[in-house]
Structure 1
């Protein structure tokens, strides 16, 4: 049986989540937990909970013939006020070293930038099951964020089954900060998640491991950080024990790349 819990827009103190939610948190289409917690697409107030037994989890396969990310001539970086400019695909950490491009992240692909218009259409589809009154509230909240785009890139470690997805959500700075703080409170106070490692040099970043039985062959860790007008959301999956140091190292490189002022190649 599937149920949806519709919460208020997360501009107030988060409400406690029922203990029953620990049985199963929906991870639809490879979307990161942080995005799901604060709502549809990047945070519009819906938390979806599935109460049926989880299906067996297997590591995602790497698609053949994955395209190589292409650089553009457009400059990119961060202004002194923290807002970023240029393509989000350029701001994403390039694939290289021990990593190749990973599998598609749901229906988003493995190396893509989604413009505001595309996200609006996705939002309209996602909230169709929601009562009309709530749909109107969610759309008003979405409009208040002034969403510009979302950039997605996935990484597959060449020596093991570690798969990492990084998403850059670009919208209003104040809301970026609030959503990052909201996710930190939710994941630390509900008791549903295991505490993850710190990210050196980035106190605004926080990581947490998803619920899993001790004998689970696959483990997942997710991280969230606010960098100016970018909400950075990392989702990782790999064979137990998860190589947390490799995940934190990649996240650190990504956040260093976005550091303001002066994000650079």
Structure 2
């Protein structure tokens, strides 16, 4: 709320005293200062009949205007003003209504598919029944990395054993992706029987789409992976189960999806059989959070 001006009513004019007949003229009175410190003008006295001598009137019933009290509440400031009753010499200027402030969205998606804001904000908040999980390798359990940090965390460890020529090709491919950032958040159930890692990788939209399509083809036609569950309302999401013997006590599932300039990768590990409905529900919530305005799914 914008601050209001304090209005101090002007003091009433002080008439000039009349000298009695035969008396020496008195020195002119000194102008009395108003409570605000501004000089007060003298109203001309035009008596219609002789009056008895009067003494100088002293200023009485002075207006007391308390200072504005700024009270900070939430995001605004409430201003309180107290005025003692006094004869007003001028009508107060009405305070203009504060201009409505535009709501600023800290994160989201533009209509062209590019996302803005922190990737930690774009990541799905910890759902009910879950807590933050363990660190995902060298990433941590709730972190955002720049493209350079991601390169150091993921690529450097993988290319050190490659020949120099292959290292250069892989680094060039990585640089051509124009990776901006990556966000990672892990979740675990309160019972500790299921852990989830959610990653967002932000780079060129065309490359995001290509990688997601490649994942669908690679996992669907090789026969190495087991078919995973579908994600209702998100045909662009692909899930698959990693190879494991039928009697394995632990099972693993991975999913990927493309949302504009974000590649979403979810990795799940838990006690077999995995609760697939709960898992795809988490992914659906994450994808809904990244939804592009006006896009149809």
Structure 1 residue aligned with 2:205: 173
Which residue of 1 is the match for residue 129 of structure 2?
A: 98
The higher radius of gyration belongs to 2
Deviation at 1:136, TM superposition (A): 1.2
Q: Which residue of 2 aligns with 1:246?
A: 278
Alignment-derived partner of residue 246 in structure 2: 214
Residue 260 in structure 1 maps to residue 292 in structure 2: yes
1:96-118, CA deviations, whole angstroms, 9 ceiling, x for partnerless residues?
Answer: 31111111111111000111121
Instruction: Say whether the 8 Å CA contact 1:78–1:262 is kept in structure 2.
Output: no
Q: Deviating runs (4+, > 4 A) in structure 1?
A: none
1:86 matched to 2:86 = no
1:142-153 map, 5 Å: 142-153=174-185
What is the distance in 2 between the residues matched to 1:243 and 1:124?
A: 35
CA RMSD after TM alignment = 1.6
Deviation at 1:126, TM superposition (A): 2.5
For residues 286 and 250 of structure 2, the distance between their equivalents in structure 1, rounded to whole angstroms, comes to 24
Residues in 1 aligned to 2:118 and 2:268: alpha-carbon distance in whole angstroms: 24
SS at match of 2:279: helix
TM-aligned CA deviation for residue 129 of structure 1: 0.9
TM-score (norm 1): 0.69
Distance across 1 between alignment mates of 2:105 and 2:176: 28
Measured in 1, the distance between the counterparts of 2:294 and 2:139 equals 28
Q: Find the residue that maps to 1:153 and give its secondary structure.
A: strand
Tell me whether 1:140 sits opposite 2:153 in the alignment: no
- SS of residue paired to 2:148: helix
Q: Which moved more, 1:156-165 or 1:182-191?
A: 156-165
What do the CA deviations read for 1:194-232 (whole angstroms, capped 9, x no partner)? 101100010000100000000000001100000000000
What is residue 120 of structure 1 aligned with on the other side?
151
Instruction: Report the counterpart of residue 233 of structure 2 in structure 1.
Output: 201
Query: Which of 1 and 2 has higher RCO (CA within 8 Å, sep 6+)?
Result: 1
1:225 corresponds to: 257
Secondary structure at 2:200's aligned position in 1? strand
Provide structure 1 residue ranges, at least 5 long, that are not aligned to the other structure: 1-72
After TM superposition, give the deviation of residue 160 of structure 1 in Å: 4.8
Q: How far is the alpha carbon of 1:159 from its aligned partner?
A: 3.6
Higher helix share: 1
Partners of 1:83 and 1:103 lie apart in 2 by 30
| Contact 1:195/1:208 (<8 A) preserved | yes
Normalising by structure 2, we get a TM-score of 0.62
Deviations 1:137-172 (A, max 9, x none): 111111110001110000111245111100001000
